[in-house]
A and B are shown apart, each in its own frame.
Chain A
Amino acid sequence: QKEVEQDPGPLSVPEGAIVSLNCTYSNSAFQYFMWYRQYSRKGPELLMYTYSSGNKEDGRFTAQVDKSSKYISLFIRDSQPSDSATYLCAMNAGNNRKLIWGLGTSLAVNP
């Protein structure tokens, strides 16, 4: 079983839609969960991180972690064309700083 799984998409939505992006993982030791955004041929840009289970909100973005299901989500409200990018989840066990990554989901928000 792969450590982190993420549907690569592509996902195409109309402007203003609510977007749901998800990852599953197998390692119960993971404690920190990150979402990065990556534009084409650029470096990953940190959007949000969450520690352990729960929700975290930042503007139009909400991150959720359900450790019992080993499932994390990123919701984007009122999506904009500028949100079009690849969204990567990454996580680590907290006892080191090595990040384990999902494949990334390609998102297109159409005006």
Chain B
Amino acid sequence: EPEVTQTPSHQVTQMGQEVILRCVPISNHLYFYWYRQILGQKVEFLVSFYNNEISEKSEIFDDQFSVERPDGSNFTLKIRSTKLEDSAMYFCASSDPRTVTGGTEAFFGQGTRLTVV
């Protein structure tokens, strides 16, 4: 069964460092997303991406964050200068806009646990 894969599974970084989280969405999906989940809190939307551009972003997704689809299979989230409060699980997801729901149902990867020290 197709799945979203994320690497690394765990990343430890020092405050102020740049990190890149990587994702391979399901191959025939066209919408891509990043969500995050701080321990004990709700899953939060960060950004959606379609047709090589950001389609929506939350207030969390400030200038420190960027996304890129560098080739036909990868989708990345970059955090330029990490803060302690960026420590969270980051989930990549993808969806297919050609379904009856127009791609509303999203399929998630296993997540990258980011720890900023």
A binding-site residues for B, Cβ under 8 Å: 4, 32, 34, 36, 41-46, 49, 51, 88, 90, 92, 94, 96-104
List B residues at the A interface (Cβ < 8 Å). Answer: 4, 6, 31, 33, 35, 41-45, 48, 55-56, 58, 89, 91, 95, 101-111, 113
CA distance A36 to B113 in the complex (A): 19
Looking at chain B's contact residues, the main secondary structure is strand
Pick 17 A–B contacts, CB within 8 A, sort by A: A4-B42, A41-B111, A42-B110, A42-B111, A44-B43, A46-B107, A88-B43, A90-B43, A94-B102, A96-B56, A97-B31, A97-B33, A97-B95, A98-B56, A98-B58, A99-B43, A103-B42
Instruction: Report which residue of B35, B55, B104 has the largest number of chain A beta carbons within 10 angstroms of its beta carbon.
Output: B104
**A94 cross-chain contacts in B, Cβ below 8 A:** 102, 104
Do the beta carbons of A97 and B108 come within 8 Å of each other?
no
| CA of A60 to CA of B111, assembled, Å | 27
Contacts of A36 in B (CB 8 A): 108
Q: Which residues of B contact A46 (CB under 8 A)?
A: 105-108
Across the interface, do B111 and A43 meet the contact criterion of CB distance under 8 Å? yes
Given A43-B91, A90-B43, are A49 and B105 neighbors across the interface (CB < 8 Å)?
Answer: yes
Nearest residue, chain A, Cβ from B35: A99
Contacts of A32 in B (CB 8 A): 101, 104-105
Given contacts A42-B110, A43-B91, 18 further A-B contacts (CB under 8 A): A32-B101, A32-B104, A41-B111, A43-B4, A43-B111, A44-B108, A49-B101, A51-B101, A90-B43, A97-B31, A97-B33, A97-B55, A97-B56, A98-B48, A99-B43, A99-B45, A101-B42, A103-B42
